[in-house]
């Protein structure tokens, strides 16, 4: 599994397409009220799924662990929302907590990991 993360609008998806030769059709983009589809090579905006979990008070760690076999060989792309000011709202604080826990869990599973800033990927693992 490959984990690609970084700030919002930093070119993570474009980096994944260049680095791994992905076409837009091979990338699933997470959206509200649905679980990620693992039938694609890459799952983009995984943080959106985590936000949905925070809104419902469900820890996404259980989902990640139970789908470990589905995640193998995939590219997970997500925003890093764990830095900066602590959010004021309870849901946003929970989202930040869940995002941090999920990133740690995914990093543990990852064969490769990249932090992307201004479209440039720095290999961490």
Task: List, for residues 1-55, the tens digit of each pLDDT value.
Answer: 999 999 999 999 999 999 999 999 999 999 877 889 999 999 999 999 999 999 9
Tens-digit pLDDT profile for residues 53-101: 999 999 999 999 999 999 999 999 999 998 878 888 999 999 999 999 9
Structure tokens at 115: 């932090």
Tokens 């604080």, residue located: 93
Strand stretches in the chain, DSSP E = 2-6, 27-29, 42-44, 75-79, 112-117, 120-123
pTM of the prediction? Answer: 0.94
Using CA atoms in the order 119, 23, 78, 112, what is the torsion angle rounded to 10 degrees?
A: -80
CB crowding 39-58: b at 16 or more within 10 Å, else e: ebbbbbbbbbbbbbbbeeee
CA dist., res. 31 & res. 33, Å (int): 7
């Amino acid at each position: 599994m490959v984990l690609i993360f970084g700030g919002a609008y930093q070119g993570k998806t474009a980096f994944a397409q260049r680095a791994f030769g992905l076409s837009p059709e091979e990338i699933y983009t997470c959206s509200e009220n649905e679980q990620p589809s693992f039938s694609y090579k890459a799952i983009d905006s995984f943080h959106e799924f985590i936000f949905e979990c925070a809104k419902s008070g469900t820890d996404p760690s259980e989902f990640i662990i139970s789908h470990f076999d589905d995640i193998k060989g995939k590219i997970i792309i997500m925003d890093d929302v764990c830095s900066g000011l602590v959010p004021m709202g309870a849901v946003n604080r929970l989202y930040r907590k869940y995002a941090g826990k999920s990133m740690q869990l995914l990093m543990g599973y990852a064969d490769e990991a990249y932090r992307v800033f201004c479209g440039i990927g720095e290999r961490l693992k």
